[in-house]
Amino acid sequence: MVIMESLRVRKTLDIEVNDNGDIITIPVEDVQFLDGFYDLVDKFSNKGQEIKAKGTGMNQKEHIQLLVTVMQDITAEIDNIFGEDCCEKVFDTTAPSPYAVADFFDQMLPIFDRYTNERQKRIANKYSRERQGGTFNPQYGSNRKNRRKR
């Protein structure tokens, strides 16, 4: 008779993104995902500054073309990080305005913060000294401090 053990580690967080019930799945335990997300937020912020700087000397058509190019790049990265068709699900278009993307980031950041804070609390409670009776019982060499140095 073979006894099989089972183990499940929560790896993703599902977020409903529209009234149709579409969801995006976020690999919250993947540090590369989180690194990529925060890099994208920084890139978006920097591109906004770049558009403001370059846009002052442009006519309206050139300014809009620059904006479209930048937003295509940003939305491609959003789809790359969050999964194909993320922008279609979230924005109902593949060419959202910078304001819609900023709103998306503004709503995602508290979700990540809330998840990581809850996770840290669970881990702290799970491995706290109080849970183990408030004493530290070393597994190895309990008389180590009483040993003579040679």
| Structure-block tokens of residue 49 | 């500054």
% residues pLDDT > 90 (the chain): 41
Burial of residue 13 (number of CB atoms within 10 Å: 0-12, 13-18, 19+):
middle
Q: Are 82 and 24 in contact (CB under 8 A)?
A: yes
| Structure-block tokens of residue 11 | 């790896």
Q: State the chain's mean pLDDT as an integer.
A: 84
Per residue in 96-113, pLDDT (tens digit) is 999 999 999 999 999 988
Q: Indicate whether this model's pTM tops 0.75.
A: no
Per residue in 114-150, pLDDT (tens digit) is 888 887 887 788 777 666 555 555 555 555 555 555 5
Q: Is the pLDDT confidence value at 40 over 60?
A: yes
